Amino acid sequence: MWRAGLLVCLAGCASAPAPRLSAEEAFGVSGQRPVVDPQASPRFEPALEAFQAEARAIRLSTPSGAPMPAGHVRAWTALLDEVDLLLARPPAQTSSLQLARARLALEAELNSDRGAFGDVPPGLAERIPHTLRRVWGTLTHLVRKPNKPANPRTFLWPVQPVVMTSPWGTRFHPLHGDYRFHAGVDLLAELSQPVRAASSGTVVFSGWNGAHGKQLELQHDGHLSTRYSHLQSLLVEPGAQVKRGDIIALAGDTGQTTGPHLHFELLKDGEAVDPEELLPEPAAVTPLYTQGPVPK
């Protein structure tokens, strides 16, 4: 591991911002455009949007740390039933883009509920991860596979220079003031700084994802994917094929952040792993993070 050095900065902080540029101004390409997905289920998106709106209201009206209300458990059950219907569709009628959207939404909603309620009922706590594993397995079969497996040792770091502002793993959350798992690493980036694809792959998600703001996800093979969050602009559409080093986005500060930076995740079989352990050591790296106060 190449992590070492003086810890001098909070997660998510960044240098002085660069001028904001649109995608057109920066690269002469159009920004995110609606994607027509003929294989998408017409009933899933309205069901998801209704669940998310109801979930926000329930979290606001429920005291922090209280048990999950029974009505919210029923709403979760109905949403998971909708995901089961997506998974039951024949492969030729299944949308990989919609499945990717469903997986990200389930992960985000579960994380929000874990922070809001005292517990997640055992049955629900078992069913959600099981459903996520099924979605991941189906998704990897639908996305076009490369000629050879992806090797993270050949991946690029998406921004240069590599300045780490927050590491992977349990850390002191700079906004919530408690210890939480951090599924990626935060890299220093100025507003409008180009973000490059770590490796060749398929864009399985390009859009808004709650606290992550504007987010991209690339599927590199049947096992590995990468995520890029808090982006200012999205320069590729769902379903696009990108090559290693292609500019796919502009860094920003959308979503829940303490300043401009890039949140970068590496996932193996749907589980977050430490990019520092698997990606090549950059030519130069400056660790710039703090772990927060020592827990008592």
Q: What pLDDT is stored for residue 118 in this prediction?
A: 84
* 3 state SS of 35: coil
Same domain, 124 and 54: yes
Q: Quick one: pLDDT band at residue 172, thresholds 50, 70, 90?
A: low
- Establish if 84 belongs to a structural domain: yes
Determine the structural domain holding residue 70 and report its residue range. 44-142
Q: What is the pLDDT of residues 90-111, one digit of tens each?
A: 988 898 888 988 998 998 899 8
- Of 57 and 165, the structure prediction assigns the larger pLDDT to 57
Which of 8-17, 76-85, 107-116, 122-131 has the lowest average pLDDT? 8-17
**Start-to-end C-alpha separation, the chain:** 27
DSSP 168: S
Q: Quick one: pLDDT band at residue 36, thresholds 50, 70, 90?
A: low
For 133-161, give the DSSP string: HHHHHHHHHHSPPPSS---GGGPPPSSSS
Q: What pLDDT is stored for residue 96 in this prediction?
A: 85
Give the residue from 124, 142, 160 where a domain finishes. 142
Same domain, 283 and 172: yes
Q: Quick one: pLDDT band at residue 130, thresholds 50, 70, 90?
A: very high
Portion of the chain with pLDDT greater than 70, in percent? 79
Residue 119 has pLDDT above 50, yes or no: yes
Residue 131, CA distances (Å) to 2, 52, 82, 138, 278 in order = 36, 18, 11, 11, 27
Give the residue from 142, 159, 176 where a domain finishes. 142
Same domain, 106 and 244: no
Which of 66-75, 113-122, 226-235 has the lowest average pLDDT? 113-122
Which helix (H) or strand (E) element contains residue 283?
Answer: none
Same domain, 170 and 50: no
- Establish if 209 belongs to a structural domain: yes
Residue 136 has pLDDT above 70, yes or no: yes
Q: What pLDDT is stored for residue 285 in this prediction?
A: 55
Residue 62: Cβ within 10 Å count: 16
Give the residue from 142, 168, 199 where a domain finishes. 142
Same domain, 136 and 156: no
Q: Give the pLDDT mean for 172-190.
A: 73
Q: How many domains does the chain have?
A: 2
* 3 state SS of 176: coil
Same domain, 119 and 187: no
189 CB burial (10 A radius; 0-12, 13-18, 19+): buried
Residue 175, CA distances (Å) to 179, 256, 259, 278 in order = 11, 9, 11, 28
Same domain, 172 and 27: yes
Same domain, 186 and 279: yes
- Establish if 14 belongs to a structural domain: no
* 3 state SS of 107: helix
Q: What is the pLDDT of residues 55-89, one digit of tens each?
A: 999 999 999 889 999 999 999 999 999 999 999 99
Q: What pLDDT is stored for residue 16 in this prediction?
A: 32
Same domain, 133 and 213: no
* DSSP helix, strand, coil percent of the chain (3-state; round to 5): 35, 25, 45
Residue 40: Cβ within 10 Å count: 18
Nearest to 223 by CA among 140, 146, 143: 140
Q: What pLDDT is stored for residue 175 in this prediction?
A: 53
- Establish if 16 belongs to a structural domain: no
Residue 50 has pLDDT above 70, yes or no: yes
- Of 172 and 106, the structure prediction assigns the larger pLDDT to 106
